[in-house]
Amino acid sequence: MQILAGSVLAIGFYLGVSPIHGRSAFFGGLISVMLSYLLGRGVKRAEAVAATNPRQSMTILYIGAAQRFFLALAAFAVGLAYLKLEPLAVFIGFAAAQLAYVFHAREPAPKNKEA
């Protein structure tokens, strides 16, 4: 859902404003996707450890949060300072992909119907 939301928004910026705005929005969406992937990976690792060592499980989650925070800062810095992308488009692309993640995560999980 995040990739779809980011891509649709990037195409809209590309066609409606300019190509650099489209690339900027897509870059922001990719930052969001990357952070969500890392979150999922960290949660899976923490789940695997939780049964044997709950304290280590929490440590994994906290370290993952810090890692994602600094990675987001670095990615925004690269996009804005090095690649000279449009700041507002990067932020809107990131925010749209994050909102897609939140709305998709709130949907109830499909229930298995066993006959």
- Residue pLDDT, tens place only, 18-65: 999 999 999 999 999 999 999 999 999 999 888 888 889 899 999 999
Q: Determine, yes or no, domain membership for 114.
A: no
3-state secondary structure of 47: helix
Q: Determine, yes or no, domain membership for 111.
A: no
Structure-token pair, residue 40: 């999922």
Q: Determine, yes or no, domain membership for 18.
A: yes
The total domain count for the chain is 1
Angle between helix 19-50 and helix 87-106 axes, rounded to 10 deg: 40
Radius of gyration, CA atoms only, the chain = 17
How confident is the model at residue 50, as a pLDDT?
87
Structure-token pair, residue 108: 């109830």
The single-letter code of the amino acid at 95 is: A
The pTM of the full predicted model, rounded to 2 decimals, is 0.84
Q: Determine, yes or no, domain membership for 88.
A: yes
Q: Determine, yes or no, domain membership for 115.
A: no
Provide the CA 75 distance to its chain's centre, in angstroms. Answer: 12
Residue 115: pLDDT above 60? Answer: no
Q: Determine, yes or no, domain membership for 112.
A: no
Q: Determine, yes or no, domain membership for 113.
A: no
Q: Determine, yes or no, domain membership for 26.
A: yes
Domain of residue 13, residue span: 2-106
